[in-house]
Amino acid sequence: MSSTLSAGYYRPSPTEEYTEDSAGGDFDFFSCLVSSWEAAAVIHGSPTRGAVVRSGVVLGRDGGAISRMLWPFRLGLGGPLGSGLQPFPWIHVRDLSGIVCHVLESEGLQGIFNGVSPSSPSTSNGSFAQELGAALGRPALLTVPAWAVRAVFGAERASMLLEGQRVVPKRTLESGYHFIFPDLSAALKDIVA
């Protein structure tokens, strides 16, 4: 069993939707790294079954992406990155751990599973910023310009933040997993409560 960041595997695209069967893993450092992790997780000729969960941005109360975002948003200084139109693949930490447990406990499951919310493909960075602001009762109007994101994070990480991917949990849903937090608003309210 392995878990990797799906945003690192799939090519950034504002329009293409990626399922577990979509190609990726060969266009930049992060995608090659994720491919190498996944290849190392599979032991060829082993009697054990292999499963990989490719997670989106993990949202939870303690640590993770939210911990870095909360202070600016609580101060009313939060907002979208760049245009805000880029897809934002996300998952609540309880659903990520739920998917991992579901895959481990279901003997017939193996292969790749996208650990992202079913509403993730329709979530943009801008709509995420608006929902986080609403959950905190704060405005989310200040846009962080793309040049500032590139200056802080460097070109490769900035492209992940400024371009994004529409990732769909097709096989995850087909496997019978039922999401606890399929909706971003409910997930953020749970996290900031």
**pLDDT at position 32:** 76
**pLDDT at position 62:** 83
**pLDDT at position 124:** 96
CATH number at residue 22: 3.40.50.720
**pLDDT at position 46:** 63
**pLDDT at position 4:** 54
Q: Residue 6 gets which letter from DSSP? A: H
**pLDDT at position 178:** 98
| Whether 4 contacts 38, CB under 8 Å | yes
Residue-level length of the chain: 193
Tell whether pTM > 0.95.
Answer: no
| The two three-digit tokens of residue 47, written as one number | 């009697």
| Whether 12 contacts 159, CB under 8 Å | yes
Separation CA 7–CA 173 (nearest Å): 19
Q: What is the pLDDT along the chain (193 residues), one digit of tens a residue?
A: 555 556 678 888 888 999 999 988 777 777 777 777 777 766 666 666 778 899 988 999 887 778 878 888 999 999 999 999 999 999 999 999 999 999 999 988 988 899 999 999 999 999 999 999 999 999 999 999 999 888 987 887 787 778 889 999 999 999 999 999 999 999 999 999 8
Can you give the residue range of the structural domain that contains 52? 2-192
Separation CA 6–CA 9 (nearest Å): 5
Phi, psi dihedral angles at 114 (to 5 degrees): -80, 120
Cβ-proximal residues to 23 (8 Å cutoff; 6+ apart), any chain: none
Provide the number of structural domains found in the chain: 1
Paired strand residues for 52: 2, 112
Separation CA 143–CA 81 (nearest Å): 6
